[in-house]
Amino acid sequence: MLAVAVIAALAVVGVRVYRYVYERVTPERCTVLMDDGVTTLSPEQARNASIIVAASVEAGLPEQAAVIALATAYQESDLRNLDYGDRDSLGLFQQRPSYGWGTEEQILDPWYASARFYEELVKFDGWETGDVNDVAQQVQRSGHPEAYRQHEEKALAVAAALSGAREEALGCLGFEAAAADPGQFERQLAVLEGVEFSLGDGVATVTASDPAALWAATHMVIANSYAGGVTSAVVGDREWSADDAAWGPAERAAAPGTAEFTLG
């Protein structure tokens, strides 16, 4: 009996040691499904991507606008809100105050920067059907006119996930849940048509009028799970948990047309 107890104790210690090491060598990240694998996003990149896509919806533009914007932001800043750049370039899209893109403070607001990008984008005839790289270059007028092309596949995957076009396409791995802060994703949800959001005690619930809207909202919330304090989500009979980032069978299914989130 003593030997069994010792073995059991060692097993518990081993699991704890593994978990301790795993959490320190594995970066917190989000994974997005692509046609031929996955692409990864840091928490900052995931949040900025959610804003870029939500801003396209807010502007009443199709998913292609978000694809172009994401490819551009990947190239210009690696989806980071940079407070520096070439000469006076700033932010997600490296926009320049001296070129009339806005003030420094405005450009460093990802919502403003995204809206300004779309404002310029729609001025070009045929942008909806044009080559992603070439349209991005028209907007940016970069010294590296072919640089946006390399990011198109990632941009397509991220846009598909955050627009709800692809289900179970985004999950995030996290180890230390922040305090619940729904303000991190409420604006993203507010722009989605047919989506309702409510808060309870340690939970949040989203209802949507169609599956695409439900998955768009779900992925928007998960993309902001680090700062928002979201640790799990259930959609139908599928569940995501921050413990391993993957979607799998849910222990308890959510009601049809509903996504349930655990906070904190």
Spans of all domains in the chain = 39-161, 171-263
Residue 238 has pLDDT above 50, yes or no: yes
- Region of 13 (left: φ > 0; alpha: ψ -120 to 50; beta: rest) is alpha
231 token code pair:
């640790």
Q: How far apart are CA 85 and CA 143, in angstroms?
A: 14
Q: What is the pTM of this model?
A: 0.90
Q: Are strands 203-208 and 195-199 parallel, antiparallel or unpaired?
A: antiparallel
Q: Model confidence at 116, in pLDDT bands (50, 70, 90)?
A: very high
Query: Strand 230-235's sheet: what is its strand order?
Result: 195-199, 203-208, 258-263, 230-235, 238-241, 247-249
What are the two backbone dihedrals, phi and then psi, of residue 249, each rounded to the nearest 5 degrees? -65, 140
Residue 21 has pLDDT above 50, yes or no: no
Residue 194 has pLDDT above 60, yes or no: yes
What residues form DSSP beta bridges with 31? Answer: 40, 171
Q: How far apart are CA 119 and CA 59, in angstroms?
A: 9
Confidence (pLDDT) at 196: 98
Confidence (pLDDT) at 26: 54
Instruction: Write out pLDDT tens, residues 80-113.
Output: 999 999 999 999 999 999 999 999 999 999 999 9
Least confident of 19-33, 41-55, 143-157: 19-33
Residue 11 has pLDDT above 50, yes or no: no
Confidence (pLDDT) at 258: 99
Residue 14 has pLDDT above 80, yes or no: no
